[in-house]
């Protein structure tokens, strides 16, 4: 069975579409964290961000920004998860635009920062640059 997001984009299941182009589809989340919570997906299927060609990713953030502006949200989160341990539930890349109208509604986040020395950061930077 295809992923839910792919089925929504192909109209196989009902969705509340707010935007569509040849490469991108956006719709309201059926279990929103707050009023205006929407999902933006590429029509190209891939479970994780790195599985999607760059040209199919190009509209995701601009469309999320348009939805944020249209919703009137002044505070909001843009979220994209990859893998179960990173809280991805649906195996199709999707970007959430989640309005944060107050402390109780919207996305709640903990940010467990780690201390990392300059040498360790330098090594990591060099490893990443070499692989890009």
- Which residues carry out catalysis? 94
For 72: left if phi > 0, alpha if psi spans -120 to 50, otherwise beta; the answer is left
Task: Name the 3-class secondary structure at 121.
Answer: helix
The b-or-e profile of 65-94 (16+ CB within 10 A means b, else e) is ebbbeebebeebbbbbbeeeeeebeebbbb
Tell me how far apart the alpha carbons of residues 46 and 48 are, in angstroms, rounded to a whole number: 6
- DSSP label of 79: E
Report residue 3 as tokens: 């992923």
């Amino acid at each position: 069975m295809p992923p839910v997001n792919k089925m929504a984009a192909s109209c196989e299941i009902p969705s509340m579409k707010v935007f569509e182009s040849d490469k991108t589809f956006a719709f309201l989340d059926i279990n929103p964290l707050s009023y205006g919570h929407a999902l933006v997906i590429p029509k190209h299927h891939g479970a994780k961000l790195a599985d999607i060609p760059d040209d199919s990713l190009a509209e995701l953030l601009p469309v999320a920004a348009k939805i944020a502006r249209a919703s009137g949200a002044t505070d909001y989160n843009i979220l994209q998860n990859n893998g179960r341990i990173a809280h991805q539930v649906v195996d199709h890349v999707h970007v959430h635009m989640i309005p944060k109208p107050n402390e109780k509604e919207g996305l709640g986040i903990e940010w467990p920062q780690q201390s990392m020395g300059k040498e360790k950061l330098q090594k990591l930077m060099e490893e990443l640059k070499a692989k890009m």
